[in-house]
């Protein structure tokens, strides 16, 4: 990836200025040392490695990636794309189990602003930072001398710019002695005072057994593990679904009849199966390029700003919903997108690589009257995603749409198996339209709630059912999609297999719709959360009780998953105890008071759960948590003596 020119120049200038400073003062920007809390261990022992990072005055390094949610989005995006998160990789011989890295707190530091490149405040590792790595010695560990290694990767920065990334490898020698032997005393002073030894119980139970840094963990809710879109598996699932969607777009009336004509044109120009395959690959590339080109503007927008906050402006969110509703009605046949006549006159010849590439681009362009509505809705729906994920989705759509051309160019004889246009392809458009109307209901409802959220009097008078009207509208459209799919399938075909398959799909659609509607209704009717205000929060904290604040928003889909978890057992019972005050920080509107409280702790993204209590010196907080993590945090907040797992 190409580095920004200003950033590259800044790195070179920093390297010169820092090396000059080192020559003058004889001080390295960053010094790394390591220590183990026991030089001799027995099989089954628990030990810890301390990696001590000493920063010269005014220097720092970026946080670990697991601490990314603690810095503003502009810093996160910039570091992920151009700089280096601080990380530790560990190596150990057989018989040693490495646990999760425990990172120290972040501190305020000055660094070049990602947008203006002027010095600005952010959070980073600075001063003297001690990173702990827990290690379990296996009961069958081999006796004798061995070496544990820890490699620290970091990027040193000051207020002006950053040095190139660097690595420091630490080797620590230890001796495994007999189980009945007495280890020699090994004093490390107060170096390990901040180490959280409760992690060993989890390592032994199998809950936490890796020392690698990762913010891509799967999330488990009530026994169901969901892949995170931050991790490889989650991205693959999203890409496969997008590819399936792209393939389905081929079934629309604007595209389906064109597929045989385009493939036959390629075969005619090719003259041989081998060249036909090559030209088909170039056409496939053209279709993918079209979709990537559509996704680029949104990816660029999310790389320079935080578009999620736009949804807090009620008229923006409401407007997006109206536009998507307009698109949904259009794709169902109420009106058509009319392309300029000059577009239809463009006829690239598919007798060369470049011609076939343009052939693929134009094939996708000419399908816009049928699926342009879907593309427009995706532009709005993906606006809160990371740039890389946006491009992955749009590229996968192109792959799904282009696969038939790739396959049929290699096997032209299969053209006869392609279904013809008719009621089935019209049904595809109608189902897409109903799903777009469901998406429109979501955005319109979020826009209305953002409008209401700016007016306390309206919030106070809003009945509980008023908070779920939009969810029943969403459920209604999804249910209608399932019901219409079932009805039309039996009208269109008499074959048993298609009827059985699409009946199953229809039942899934309808069932999910009812589950969402009933679930959101129950949640709103039994709502026990107090609405966040600065006064309510302060009075609750002053009372000495445990205060739990769930920062959420109606336009945040992830938030709804976490809200359901917090309102279900076993957490619900804990939150309803007399010593706990559950508060909802409804940040649907940009003017909500909860944003101010989040900014006090350097937090910019939701979902976010924060817990205050007499047993905590600093509030517990997390953007991604499980029921067990919350229960442990509540116990520590009460001062029960149960320490919560570290959450970055």
pLDDT tens digits along 509-568: 888 888 888 888 887 787 788 889 899 899 999 999 999 999 988 877 778 878 888 888
**What are 474-502's pLDDT values in tens digits?**
889 989 988 998 998 899 888 888 889 88
Cis peptide bond prior to 306, omega within 30° of 0 = no
**How confident is the model at residue 433, as a pLDDT?**
80
Give yes or no for residue 471 having a pLDDT over 50.
yes
- pLDDT above 80 (res 221): no
Work out the pLDDT band at 248, boundaries 50, 70, 90.
confident
pLDDT at site 561: 79
Of the ranges 275-279, 304-308, 592-596, which is most confident?
592-596
Burial string for 328-354 (b: 16+ CB within 10 Å, else e) reads: bbbbbeeeeeeeeeeeeeeebebbeee
Cα distance between residue 369 and residue 354, in whole Å: 25
Q: Say if residue 310's pLDDT is above 80.
A: no
Q: Provide the pLDDT confidence category of residue 162 given band limits of 50, 70 and 90.
A: confident
- Residue 75's nearest CA partner among 605, 501, 540 is 605
Band (pLDDT 50/70/90 cuts) for residue 456 is low
Domains and CATH numbers, the chain: 5-215 (2.60.40.1250), 232-419 (no CATH), 530-638 (3.40.30.10)
Res. 314 pLDDT band, cuts 50 70 90: confident
Q: What is the pLDDT of residues 410-437, one digit of tens each?
A: 776 666 666 655 677 678 778 878 887 8
In sequence order, which residues have a C-beta less than 8 Å from that of residue 452 and are 6 or more positions away? 458, 459, 462
Q: Given pLDDT bands bounded at 50, 70 and 90, which one contains residue 219? A: very low
pLDDT the model gives residue 73 = 81
Lowest-confidence region among 49-53, 280-284, 640-644 = 640-644
Other CB atoms within 10 A of residue 249 CB:
22
Mean pLDDT over 125-143 rounds to 89
* Averaged pLDDT for residues 32-51: 88
- pLDDT of 101 above 50: yes
Question: Which position has the higher pLDDT, 449 or 88?
Answer: 88
Closest CA to 107 of 644, 622, 618, 623: 618
Give the three-state DSSP class for 289. Answer: helix
- The length of the chain in residues reads 648
pLDDT at position 209 is: 44
**Averaged pLDDT of the chain:** 76
Q: Residue 11: its pLDDT value, please?
A: 42
DSSP string, 22-71: HHHH---SEEEEEEES-SEE-TT-EEEEEEEEEEPTT-EEPPBGGGGGGS
Dihedral of the alpha carbons of 599, 603, 607, 612, in degrees to the nearest 10: -80
Write the pLDDT tens digit of every residue in 340-382: 555 445 555 656 777 778 777 777 776 665 555 455 556 555 6
Token readout for 316 is 């923006």
Determine what percent of the chain is predicted with pLDDT higher than 70: 74
* Mean pLDDT, residues 190-197 taken together: 83
For the beta carbon of residue 558, count every other beta carbon within 10 angstroms: 18
Tell which wins on pLDDT, 33 or 338: 33
Out of 20-24, 37-41, 74-78, 422-426, least confident range:
20-24
Q: Is the pLDDT of residue 311 over 80?
A: no
The pLDDT of residue 25 is: 38
pTM for this model (two decimals): 0.49
46-55: strand order across its sheet: 30-36, 46-55, 128-137, 96-98
């Amino acid at each position: 990836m190409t580095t920004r020119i200003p950033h590259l120049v800044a790195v070179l200038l920093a390297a010169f200025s820092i090396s000059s400073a080192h020559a003058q003062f004889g001080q390295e920007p960053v010094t790394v040392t390591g220590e183990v809390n026991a030089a001799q261990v027995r099989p089954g022992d628990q030990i810890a490695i301390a990696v001590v990072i000493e920063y010269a005055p005014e220097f720092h390094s970026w946080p670990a990636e697991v601490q990314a949610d603690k810095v503003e989005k502009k810093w996160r995006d910039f570091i992920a794309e151009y700089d280096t998160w601080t990380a530790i990789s560990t190596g150990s011989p057989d018989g040693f189990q490495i646990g999760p890295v425990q990172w120290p707190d972040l501190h305020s530091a000055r660094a070049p602003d990602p947008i203006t490149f002027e010095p600005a405040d952010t959070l980073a590792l600075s001063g003297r930072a001690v990173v702990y790595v827990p290690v379990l010695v296996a009961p069958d560990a081999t006796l004798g001398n061995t070496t544990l290694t820890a490699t620290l990767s970091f990027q040193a920065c000051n207020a002006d710019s950053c040095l190139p990334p660097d690595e420091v490898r630490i080797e620590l020698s230890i001796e495994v002695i007999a189980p009945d032997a007495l280890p020699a005393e090994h004093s490390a002073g107060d170096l390990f005072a901040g180490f959280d030894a409760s992690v060993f119980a989890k390592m032994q139970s199998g809950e936490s057994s890796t020392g690698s840094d990762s913010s891509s963990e799967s999330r488990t809710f009530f026994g169901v593990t969901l892949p995170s879109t931050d991790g490889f598996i989650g991205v693959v699932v999203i890409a496969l679904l997008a590819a399936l969607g792209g393939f389905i777009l081929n079934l629309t009336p604007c595209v389906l009849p064109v597929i045989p004509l385009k493939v036959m044109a390629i075969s005619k120009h090719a003259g041989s199966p081998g060249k036909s395959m090559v030209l088909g690959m170039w056409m496939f590339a053209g279709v993918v390029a079209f979709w990537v080109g559509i996704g680029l503007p949104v990816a660029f927008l999310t790389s320079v700003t935080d578009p999620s906050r736009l949804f807090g402006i009620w008229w923006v969110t409401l407007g997006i919903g109206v536009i998507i509703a307009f698109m949904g009605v259009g794709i169902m046949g109420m009106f058509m997108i009319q392309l300029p006549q000059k577009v239809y006159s463009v006829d690239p010849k598919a007798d060369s690589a470049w011609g076939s590439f343009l052939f693929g681009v134009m094939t996708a362009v000419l399908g816009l009257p049928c699926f342009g509505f879907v593309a427009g809705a995706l532009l709005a729906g993906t606006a809160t995603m990371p740039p890389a994920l946006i491009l992955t989705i749009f590229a996968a759509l192109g792959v799904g749409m282009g696969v038939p051309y790739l396959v049929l160019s290699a096997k032209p004889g299969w053209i006869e198996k392609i279904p013809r246009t008719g009621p089935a392809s019209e049904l595809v458009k109608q189902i897409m339209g109903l799903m777009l109307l469901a998406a429109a209901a979501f955005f319109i409802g979020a826009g209305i709630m953002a409008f209401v959220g700016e007016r306390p009097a309206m919030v106070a008078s809003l009945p509980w059912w008023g908070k779920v009207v939009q969810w029943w509208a969403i459920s209604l459209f999804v249910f209608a999609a399932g019901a219409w799919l079932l009805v039309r399938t039996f009208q269109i075909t008499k074959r048993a297999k298609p009827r059985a398959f699409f009946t199953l799909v229809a039942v899934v659609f309808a069932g999910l719709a009812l589950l969402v509607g009933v679930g959101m209704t129950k949640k709103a009717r039994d709502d026990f959360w107090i609405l966040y205000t600065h006064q309510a929060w302060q009075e609750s904290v002053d009372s000495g009780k445990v205060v739990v604040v769930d920062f959420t928003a109606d336009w945040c889909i992830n938030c709804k998953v976490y809200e359901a978890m917090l309102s279900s057992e076993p957490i619900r019972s804990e939150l309803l105890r007399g010593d706990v005050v559950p508060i909802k920080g409804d940040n649907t509107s940009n003017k909500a008071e909860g944003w101010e409280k989040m900014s006090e702790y350097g937090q910019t993204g939701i979902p976010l759960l924060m817990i205050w209590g007499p047993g905590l010196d600093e509030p517990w907080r997390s953007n991604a948590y499980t029921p067990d993590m919350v229960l442990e945090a509540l116990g520590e907040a009460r001062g029960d003596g149960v320490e919560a797992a570290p959450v970055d």
